[in-house]
Structure 1
Amino acid sequence: MRVAKSDRTKERILGAAERLFARQGIEGTSLREISTAAGLSNMSSVQYHFGGKDELLESLFTHRMLQMEEQRGKMLERAEKNGLLGDIRTLMEVICLPHLELTDADGRYNYAEFLTQYLFRYRPPLGPLTDPPEPPVPLHLFHVQKLIRERLAFLPEEVIVRRLVTGVMCFLTVLVNHKSFAIPGGGKGQLEAALADTLDQISVALELPFRG
């Protein structure tokens, strides 16, 4: 299937934006720099295709979330088959592990670096979950978040949201900075071991009683 020229241009812009946001920071990257990095001669290309920076950020977030939908769907199917849809550790794996597939040619986790900034400064807080949202919202992500909230129903809503976002941020931080935690001569399995340990910590923390 042929991809329209405008769609190819959007993909180039999203790729360039992700790289620059990861390396320079969201606030330290201009739309002109993104156009240049995408190889576009028209410095207004980003505004033409996306509007402003806020719209570009939201588009990048949605683009990557939708890319992870298929893997999350398969993971949810396996969890249901194994009777683990009520297991917090399994549900956090569904949210977090697909990020391992999003690397650039050098093996760098640019999207994870972007997302740590985006979740902290720009992403609106999760609201109440009622009916499934309209596309292009990723429905598998919506479903797993709903399952987590049902499992943690003994906690106040705002505490669930804070712990969930904090847990994802913790996972992404270890993923992005895993080389800083590496033990010399520790072997190739250090990243997997570090992420597994991080998921264990997150899962325990999510289910702690609230003392507020």
Structure 2
Amino acid sequence: MSALPPPAAATRGGTTRHELKRAARRLFAERGIAAVGMREVVEAAGQRNAAAVHYYFGSKDDLLRELLIDGADQIDAGRATLIDSAESKGAAMTLRDLVSATILPGLELSAATGESETYFRFIVNVQNERRELFRATVPEHSESYRRYMDHVHRLLAPLPAALVKQRILFAGLTAQTLLAAREAALDRSDTGDHHFWSRPEALAGMIDAVEAILASPPRG
């Protein structure tokens, strides 16, 4: 027996919720966090009820947390799958395997509520303006990132732990910045294609750059 369709009101509510999330993430991505008011989110989503954000999400911080988790869960799942594959190689695992596991999931975000369009620019702005909220929210949804860090520390064991930690930070910021730049370029395109960022060489170059930060020999 097939399931009964949801009531019309529930369907409309789900659509409204998605529209609000898509509109909010885009505004936060393009203008920053503090500069965007909830009334603007409601208007951008084409809603008439000024209290719609409060009704569906609660506070602005609650909305930010949900937007962060939406993308973080997708990325974490994709990264976990790629790290599983790298671990299956045993001693043959490489830094490149791990770097690929941190970058490739960011290219495959779902567009259900606009994650593929604006997520990386959004998280850059959250980290710049609301770093404590980011730190309190995302780590719980990034278990595979801890696995990534453990493997990098192991593969770079001859280097001082403090230096490896610094490189992981720099590599992560670089990957995030590159993904945000790619996202912005594709978002501006009418076709979803870009003469540079859509090319396989650009993806290989991103992985090369992040791998080089981790693997370069120390100086001095």
TM-score (norm 1): 0.71
* Structure 1 counterpart SS, 2:50: coil
* Structure 1 counterpart SS, 2:47: coil
Partners of 1:120 and 1:165 in 2: CA distance: 15
Q: Which of 100, 110, 113 does residue 118 from structure 2 map onto? A: 110
Deviation per CA, 1:29-56, whole angstroms, max 9, x where unpaired? 2211112223333222223333333332
Partners of 2:205 and 2:105 in 1: CA distance: 17
Provide closer, same or farther for how the CA distance between residues 44 and 209 of structure 1 changes in structure 2, counting only shifts above 3 A.
Answer: farther
Partners of 2:15 and 2:115 in 1: CA distance: 23
Extract unaligned runs of 5+ from structure 1.
128-132, 180-185
Identical columns (%) = 26
CA contact (8 A) 2:185 2:197 kept: no
Partners of 2:92 and 2:64 in 1: CA distance: 31
What one-letter code is carried by the residue in structure 1 that aligns with 2:109? Answer: L
Partner of 1:17: 24
**Larger Rg: 1 or 2?**
2
* Structure 2 counterpart SS, 1:27: coil
Partner of 2:175: 168
Extract unaligned runs of 5+ from structure 2.
187-193
Partners of 1:107 and 1:162 in 2: CA distance: 23
**Displacement after TM superposition at 1:178 (Å):** 5.0
Partner of 2:34: 27
Q: Which runs of 4+ in 1 moved over 6 A?
A: 105-108, 186-189
Partner of 1:198: 206
Asked if 1:147 is matched to 2:151, the reply is yes
Select between 28-37 and 108-117 the one with higher mean Cα deviation.
Answer: 108-117
Partners of 1:8 and 1:190 in 2: CA distance: 30
Provide closer, same or farther for how the CA distance between residues 147 and 107 of structure 1 changes in structure 2, counting only shifts above 3 A.
Answer: closer
More helix by share: 2
CA contact (8 A) 1:72 1:95 kept: yes
Asked if 1:57 is matched to 2:64, the reply is yes
RMSD: 3.9
**Displacement after TM superposition at 1:202 (Å):** 1.2
What one-letter code is carried by the residue in structure 1 that aligns with 2:35? Answer: G
Select between 169-178 and 36-45 the one with higher mean Cα deviation.
Answer: 169-178
Partners of 1:88 and 1:122 in 2: CA distance: 31
Partner of 2:191: none
